[in-house]
Structure formats: structure tokens, C-alpha cells
Structure 1
Amino acid sequence: MVKTNKNSKVKESGYVKGVLLTLFIAIIAGMIAKLPIFSMMGVMIISIILGIGWKRIVNLSLESKKGINFSSKILLRVGIILMGLRLNLDQIMSAGSSIVFIDIAVVSFTIIVMLFLGKWFSLNDKFSALLAVGTAICGAAAIVAVAPLIKAKEEHIAISVAFIAILGTVGTVFYSILFVLFDLHSYAYGILVGSTLHELAHVVAASLPGGDTSSEIAILVKMGRVALLIPVAIILGSMFTFTGQGKKRSKLAVKNLPVPWFVIGFLVMSIINSTGIVPKGITDLLISVSILFLSMAMAGLGLSINFKDFKKVGMKAVIVGVLGSILLALFGGLLLFLFQVV
């Protein structure tokens, strides 16, 4: 009994240490981001980089990893919900139908192209589907949501999540550098980031250097992609059910469908902000809390990345993932040009 209590306290202690570690990294990143040279990168990118560097230097305990996972998953979504206070319904309405079309176009294009690339390189169909939804919609959240509907293997799920996280992180740093080097228009840059980067975390981090305009439109566009998770999950689930050759499949019941609760929370916060009933001081405070939570999530993301996962996926999967991401970025840029956003 004593040992059980002792082990429980050790686990709780490690859990807290993991959360505190992400808080520490986020605070340090915030201090660094205020320096002239690093201000262009933003606190999110710096948090990711510091997290990656910390992991390479310090061994993380299993218990602390659970706390880190809490920051990178739960605090990320809470931070995104609070980010809704930066938007209002007028902004959403003024975005227009072109944003909706861009979201539908990039998601459809990416999934079709990556499924085709998967077949071309003889990659496992379900593995290709996981990489496709992770790239097209919202990274790990989409992968984990779709996986049970297509009966994907556990190793494919884990590898897909890690691989997409790495690709998205590389893309986040690349986009941030691109914005600085070419002095892109904040609004257009925000749409490009929101429509082409993988995780919500990546979008939040990469859009920050473009200022409030970039961040707001990027999050809005990304939320549109996330909202497409349910119809995409239904379609893919149906496809793999009909091609299952008699194997037992999960029923496409409503209870089995992924419900992105943080999207609902984000929209609720937007509605509340639109009413003007919340004092500006409280709104500003909650937005600051949101930035802190998101920075902690970025630190957790950096601490969770293992570049050795590239070796596990195989060269074919790497090619499919990288090509899909590049083609998505190019297609997003083409849509901006066609809609004369740039």
C-alpha cells in the first residue's frame, strides 16, 4: 500500500514537472522573443526550437512526458478556444465565400493527390490515408479521428502522427523565414499559412510574425479545414468499408464520428466577443493566457518530436509525405493568385 502511494506521488510529481517544463520554456521563449533579432520569429517558433534543443540535451522521464503531452494536446485546444476572443462574426462574414472554397479545394486536392501518390509508390492504403488527412486537415487530430473508422494499424497511427508533426514543424520555420525574406502581405500570408500548414499549432506559430491580421485570418481559414474533418471521415470510412472484402469494420454511427469540440468552443468565444459584453481588459487578459498556453503547447510539441521517426516510416512514406506537403503549399499559393489575394 505504501509502495502504491509512493508510485502514485512519483507519477503525479513527474506529470507536474512536465507541465512546468513547458511553462519554463514558454517563459524563456517570451523573453527571447522581445530581443530585436528574435522578435521577427515570434514566441511560438522560439518555443518549438527551445523544446527540440532541450530534448536533445536532457533525457525526459516517462512521467514528465505525460505532463508534456497535456500541454501539447489539452492546453493547445484551450488556447485555441480562447483565441476565438480575437475574432468576431463581422470578420467571419467579411471573409467571404472565397475562403470556404479555398478550404474545400485544398483539402480535396491534398487527399486525392496523396492517395494517388501512395498507390504510385505502393504504400499501404490506410497508411496513405492517415498521411493524407493529417496533411490536409489538422495533423494528429485528424489522424487519430479517422484511424478507427478505417481500422488502421497502431504503428501506422503513431508513425503518421510523429511524421506529420515533424513535417509541419519544418514547414512552420520555413514559412516564418519566407515571410521575413519576401515581406509578404500579412493577410495573404495568413491565408497561405491557414490553408497549407498541418497542425493548428503550426498555423498559430507560423502566422504570428505577420501580426494580428495574419494570425486572425490564418486561424479562421484553418478552422474551416478542421470543420471538414467530419465529412472527410465519413467519406474515407465508407470507402474502406466498401473495399474491406468482407472484413469486420466499425459502423459509421454518429457516436463514432469525430467531433472537434475546440472548434465549437472557438466559435462560441467569437460569438461572445462579437456581443461586446466582455470588458476589453478581461478580453486582453484571456488572450494573453491563450498565447501562454499556446506557447507551452509549442514547447510540448518540440519536446515530443523525435527525428528518428523518419527512419521508421521508410523512404516511400517520406517521399509521399514531403511531396504532398510541397504540392499543398504550391496549390495554396496558386489559389491565392487566382483569387487575387496576393
Structure 2
Amino acid sequence: MSSHIKRMKCSLSSGLSQKRSPHSNRNRFIQRILGIGLTMIFASVGYGLNEIPGFHYVGPLACAMFLAVLYRQLWGYPEALRSGVEFSAKKLLRGAIVLYGLKLNMDVVIHHGMGLLLRDVGTVVFSILFTMWLAKRFKADASLSLLLGIGTGVCGAAAIAAVSPLLKSKDEDTAIGVGLIALVGTVFAILFTVLRPWLPLTDMQYGIWSGISLHEIAHVALAAEPAGQDALAIGLLAKLGRVFLLIPLSFMFMYWMKRTGKIHSDAKMEFPWFLIGFVITSLIGSYVLGKYIVVPSSLMNGLSHITTFMLTMAMVGMGLNVSFKTLREKAVLPLLVLSITSVILAGLTFLTV
């Protein structure tokens, strides 16, 4: 009898939960949409700030992320919208990385930039190893320093965003790393531009130097453009080689995480399908579009803007996880490490141009 009553109670509670589930599912859906909308608003404001003289040196991504960090300090984390914010920080991030592959022309890198690619390998290896060595000497946060080393060596914020899921990095570390890379990279790009007239380099040499030493594609464009179109072209080609190296580097980190036990043996590591997507879109952009399928330049430009906007929304989601207290505790020494590494990298690459 009692068991019969228990079954009736379980059946009743199950029926009630099923009746409530559509309402709760609708609420969760609304919260997710509002959370995504919040990151979209911050991203749009970041783009607006980017139009103001001076802010365009920083870029919309960093502007939006800094606004998100400021919001977190003043009003706290928007807990009710967490699912939407996390969707932007994780799902949109992976989508942006996939679309980012369309910007990489493998054909140009492989067939016309092999000499530059060897220099790019040196930049990536030096940046990561020296950053980690310096971080150990200064007792800086190892996880954040590794992200900074990867961002310095490869392609700034995009590289940090791509490898952070593989390294199981905290959203906070990812956001801080992106912010520091944007800050230091912008400062260096401006310094390159200021110093260019007094440097004993030809325009082509200056373009190569910019491409193999500066952090972001935007930073290379900012520094190389004043030296002329040829310098800009060779600088971007050198930079594309470093972007290309993101592919093997990411799979090396996957192997390293498993090999060193950073991922528990009984835990499954999520396969980074977005990197496969990155490779596929790179191949499509390099060997299909423009050769077998004619795509209007306006459409490609539109996709490029969508990619950057999605990445900006993802950085907003990560920026909302940053607290100034943690920033003060964790970011000072990594910023010092990043600055020293960037100075020495610029010096060494200058001597080899």
C-alpha cells in the first residue's frame, strides 16, 4: 500500500515537473537571448568607441572588453543572464575561430612565404619558451603567462581565444590575456611607426620586421602601412605565416595536455572540432573561393566583419568574468613578462632582418 502511494506521489511530482518544464525552458531561453543581447550591446558600443580618434589604435575588441570589465566592477556579474553570456564566451568564440580561417591564404603562405615561415617558427618558439622561462623567474602566473606567450608568438587575441579551450584556461585568464596583448601590441605598433623614419631599414625590411614581431594582424597593418603598399603586403604575408602556425601548435597543445596529465586520465577531453572547421575554412578560402566559386568582395568583407563582431562578443563574455582584485593580483607580473619578451623579440628580429 505504502509503495503504491509512493509511486502515486512520484507520478504526481513527475507530472507537475513536466507541466512546469515548458515555462522554465521558456525562461531559460529568454535569459539566454538577453545574455547574448547584452554581449551584443557591449560589442556595438566597442565598435562605436573605435570610431573616436585615439581609440581606433586599440580596436573594437579591446574597447568592448574593457567596457565589460568596467561593468563587472561597478554592477557585478549579470548572474540572471549567465547562460547567454557563457554562450557568447564559448559557442560564439568557436564560431568566430572557424570563420577566421577564411582570412588565411594557405597557398600564399606555403608557396611564397616559406622563408618568412621559418622566421615565423623562430618567433613562435622564442615567444612561448622565453615567456615561460621569464614567468618562472619572476614567479608570475604560469597559466596567464602561457597564454601571453602564445598570443605574442602567433596572432594575439585570436591565438589566445583558440588555445584557451584546449588548455582549460579560465575565462578570466583569457580575458586578461587578450586585454594585455591589445595594450602592449598597440603601444609597440605606435612605437614602430614613430621610429620608422630613423631606422636603417628599407621599406621591405621594415615590413618584414613588423610582420614577424608585432602581436596582431591589425598591429602589423598599423605599423607597416606608412611605409607603403609593398611593405604592408610583405608584413601581412609574414604575419599570415604565424597565423598558419596556430594549426599545428593547437594540436601540439592537445597532445601535451594529455601527455602531462593536465587532463585527468579518466576525463574526456572535448575534441576541438572548431579547429577542424578552421582548417576547412582555410582550405576553402585558399583553394576554392575565387578559383571555383566567385564570391563578391562585399560578401567576403561582410563575413570578415561578422567574424570580428562575434569574436568581440565572445571577449565581452569573458571580460565580465574579470575582477579588478584578481587583475591586481595576477596581471602585474605577467604584464612585465609580456613587455620584456616583446622588447627582446623586437630587438632580435630587427637584427635578423
TM, length-normalised to structure 2: 0.68
Q: Which residue matches 1:275?
A: 291
Letter in 1 for 2:338: S
Partner of 1:298: 315
1:327-342 superposed matches below 5 A: 327-340=340-353
1:49 aligned partner: 66
User: What does residue range 178-217 of structure 1 map to in structure 2 within 5 Å?
Assistant: 178-183=188-193, 188-194=209-215, 203=216, 209=222
Q: Which of 125, 143, 147 is the aligned partner of 1:108?
A: 125
Of 158, 166, 182, the residue aligned with 1:145 is: 166
**3-state DSSP of counterpart to 1:30:** helix
Do the aligned partners of 2:124 and 2:242 also contact (CA within 8 Å) in 1? no
Structure-2 separation of matches of 1:256 and 1:294: 21
How many angstroms does 1:277 deviate by? Answer: 1.5
Whole-Å Cα distance in 1 between the matches of residues 132 and 323 of structure 2?
25
* Counterpart among 175, 186, 194 of residue 165 in structure 1: 175
Identity of aligned residues (%): 20
Partner deviation per Cα, 1:221-242 (whole Å, 9 max, x = no partner): 234135213234435654x46x
| Distance in 2, Cα, partners of 1:311 & 1:251 | 35
Inter-CA distance 324–36: structure 2 relative to 1 (3 Å threshold): closer
TM-score where L is the length of structure 1:
0.69
Question: Aligned pair 1:230/2:230, yes or no?
Answer: no
The 5 Å alignment of 1:245-264 reads 250=265, 260-264=275-279
Structure 1 distance, partners of 2:207, 2:258, is: 38
Please say if residues 85 and 270 of structure 1, whose CA atoms lie closer than 8 Å, have aligned partners that are also in contact: yes
CA distances 1:111-147 after superposition (whole Å, capped 9, x unpaired): 4445545665678xxx84x445423334365354246
- Counterpart of 1:325 in 2: which secondary structure? helix
Deviation (angstroms), 1:169: 0.7
- Cα distance between partner residues in 2 of 1:95 and 1:165: 35
Amino acid at match of 1:134: L
2: CA distance, partners of 1:95 / 1:339: 19
1:88 aligns with 2:94: no
- Seen in structure 2, the aligned counterparts of structure 1 residues 92 and 282 have a Cα distance that, compared at 3 Å, is same
Change (3 A) 1:217 1:273: farther
Tell me how far apart the structure 2 counterparts of residues 334 and 287 of structure 1 sit (CA, whole Å): 32
Q: Which residue of 2 aligns with 1:22?
A: 39
3-state SS of 2:214 partner: helix
- Cα pair distance change 1:220/1:304, threshold 3 Å: farther
SS of residue matched to 2:265: coil
Post-superposition CA distance 1:207-226 (Å, at most 9, x none): 67567867776465234135
Query: Quick one: which amino acid aligns to residue 95 of structure 2?
Result: V
2:127–2:341 contact (8 Å) kept in structure 1:
yes
Do residues 8 (structure 1) and 29 (structure 2) align?
no
Aligned partners of 2:39 and 2:88 also within 8 Å: yes
**Structure 2 CA distance, aligned partners of 1:300 and 1:16?**
13
Counterpart position of 2:92? 75
Distance in 1, Cα, partners of 2:319 & 2:81: 14
Q: Note if contact 1:22-1:300 (Cα within 8 Å) is conserved in structure 2.
A: yes
Q: Which stretches in structure 1 are left out of the alignment for 5+ residues?
A: 148-156, 195-202
Given that residues 58 and 182 in structure 2 are in contact (C-alpha distance below 8 angstroms), is that contact kept between their aligned partners in structure 1? no
Q: Deviations over 1:41-93 (max 9, x none)?
A: 43233222332233333343224233223223332332343344344344323
Is contact 2:62–2:178 with CA below 8 Å preserved after alignment?
no
Query: Could you say if the C-alpha distance between residues 27 and 215 of structure 1 is closer, same or farther in structure 2, counting changes exceeding 3 Å?
Result: farther
Tell me the residue number matched to 2:184. Answer: 174
Does structure 1 retain, via aligned residues, the 8 Å contact 2:101–2:281? yes
Is the Cα contact below 8 Å between 2:104 and 2:244 reproduced in 1?
no
SS at match of 2:166: helix
> Shift of residue 172 of structure 1?
0.5
